[in-house]
Chains A and B, each alone.
Chain A
Amino acid sequence: MTSVTDVSPARPAFRLTRALQGLERLIVPVLLIAGWEAFARSGMLPPALLPAPSAVLHALGDWVFGFDETTQTYSGHWLRDALASALRVFGGFALASLLGILAGVAIGWSRLFEKTLEPTLQMLRPIPPVSWIPLAIIWFGIADKPAIFLVFLGAFFPVLMNSIHGVKTVDHNLVRAGAMMGANSRQMLTDIVLPAALPSIFAGLRIAVGSAWMLTVTAEMVAVKSGLGYVLWDSYYFLRYDIVLAAMISIGLLGYLSDLGLKAIMARTLRWQQTTTVQGRAG
């Protein structure tokens, strides 16, 4: 009998299994798209109200490549819009990651920070980012700055909460062992607590990058001239639901790619973890 660990990547049976696993992932999306196409073509709703996937793909194609100008002023501008959104997302996400990790580790590590900082942050956490728009404009004006601020707000709290959780739940045996070895506070924090909290911090970063992409639509309501969220709102104003859906797909795709990137960084950073998890053993 062959165990999972005995299967070599070079063997045909293994390649066949991987190919079948790849196909499994496609079953639900293919069924969904086929159902959507069939419903859209059934004539139960006007095509302009529910564009078929083929029409959305056409709009997306013209938005990306500009082949027939059916997306009017957006034709051929997808890359510019995607880059504009990505810059806002990664600007806000980077800021949120930095401050979220710093504040989270500080709160998790120090009673003083926990008492002074946490109540205020926890009070701010439930406020929906969209409600910050008026203040964002008053503080940062129009264009990119308020958009980055809104993305930051959406991404900050997941990083913060997971960082606090990561630090607070570090195995006490590790801390005790560090103390027995004579580690001082700084060494304890940088060499023991932080590495041990990294899986939780990365989980927070992955949630945050998704929130950051979600916030692009809200953030780009505020007087920006480009971006996937901006195109989505503007298209809605002119009832271009095909472009609205194309923008949604674009945001979803870029969000997925961002998560894949983060997972790759996580896999490299947390190599030691792969041998201790169920997935690590299986893989």
Chain B
Amino acid sequence: MRTSLRLGLVVMAAVLGGSEIASAQVPKIKLGYAKCAHCLPMSLVPGLARNVEVEATGFNSGNDVLTALVSKSIDVAQVTYLHYITALDKGFDVVAVSGQINGGSECLSSAKLSLLPEDWATFKTTVAKAKSDGQPLKVAASRGNAQDIHMRGAFLKQGVDPNKDIQFINIPNPSDHLAALQRGEVDMICSVEPFASQIRLAGAGKHFVLPYEQAAGNLTNLIVTRSDVIAGQRAGVQGVVSAVVELDNKLIADRAPWIEVINKLTGLDKNVATEALKNASPDPAIHRSQTLAIAAMMRDLKYISKDVAAEAEKNMDYSFLEQATGKSKNDLGY
């Protein structure tokens, strides 16, 4: 009896000791993501990550995530391409290691504009008339976010200068967009999902255009880390990138878990979540040329102070994506 007890204790000690050693060897990564429809699937990454322990934290905004990353509170962050460019402009050490999900921008017009979807000709006439009447059309967005850049690029491509032909209204919090459009305070909103779907479903605005026909395309989310994390925890970063790639593949095949996670983490109606995801494309690639176009647009708009094209290109590390997907960087957006 005593022998078997001793044997049991030895086995237990070996198992516990072994598991401690094993857990000590598993890299630990702190991952941050923002709470938006496109970002929330990142909360599923810990469940998909292999050979890495991922602690995922939701932040209120992309700025908070980026600040946490550059101040070394987290190791890997989901931000937007604009955050990436902004961080490089300020000289922060950020390295893009994967894409995540693109899309999510939509321009919605107020009922009084009576605009048909994609009817740029009528829009341009309305803009010109409002300008000549001395009351330029009021177009709102959250300054400096992906929707702002998409809208500005699409408008410029159609010959409408957002700085001269319209009155740009900055509404920083997208959750305020619905009320502003409903009250007639603005004529058009370029918003982000799921707020755009909410606006549409509430009848406060009508779909006008998905503003993706411009140099920046539909780029939205990017996974970034720091070079010291890559040097110290390469396996951990690889684990996160592989999990993001797996997550994207799952979301392409079945959006139900995505709708579930939006519903669970935001309390948003599943109909809104379903609508929002029609304007979303899981995409782990890092799109180099569009990123450089975003950097150029941000510089033109004085959102950044210098040309960061060289840094933006240099700080794209495709090696993690190449390993996770088995594809070459030329097939991954380079």
Binding site for B on A (CB under 8 A): 45-49, 70, 72-73, 133-134, 137-138, 141-143, 221-223, 225, 233-234, 236-240
Contacts and interface: CB of A to CB of B under 8 A. Distances in A.
Interface of B: 63, 66-67, 70-71, 86-87, 89-93, 140, 143-145, 169-173, 175-176, 179-180, 183, 185-186, 302-305
Given A49-B92, A142-B169, A239-B86, A234 B143 contact: yes
Given A73-B302, A142-B169, A221-B172, A237 B143 contact: yes
B185 A142 contact: yes
A222 B185 CA distance: 13
Contacts of A143: 185
A142 B171 contact: yes
B176 A48 contact: no
Contact of A236 (B63, B91, B173): B63
A45 B186 CA distance: 42
A134 B176 contact: yes
B170 A225 contact: yes
B180 A223 contact: yes
A221 to B, nearest CB: 6
A237 B66 CA distance: 10
23 contacts: A133-B173, A133-B176, A134-B176, A134-B179, A141-B185, A142-B171, A142-B186, A221-B173, A222-B173, A222-B176, A223-B169, A223-B172, A225-B169, A233-B172, A234-B144, A234-B170, A236-B63, A237-B143, A237-B144, A238-B303, A239-B70, A239-B87, A239-B92
B67 to A, nearest CB: 8
Contacts of B172: 221-223, 233-234, 237
A198 B185 CA distance: 42
Contacts of B171: 142, 222-223
A46 B91 contact: yes
Contacts of B66: 239
Contacts of B176: 133-134, 137, 142, 222-223
Given A48-B92, A223-B140, A223-B176, A238 B169 contact: no
Contacts of B173: 133, 221-222
A240 B305 CA distance: 11
A225 B170 CA distance: 7
A199 to B, nearest CB: 41
Contact of A138 (B144, B170, B179): B179
Contacts of B304: 238
Given A46-B70, A237-B144, A239-B90, 4 more contacts: A49-B71, A141-B180, A222-B172, A234-B170
Contacts of B145: 237
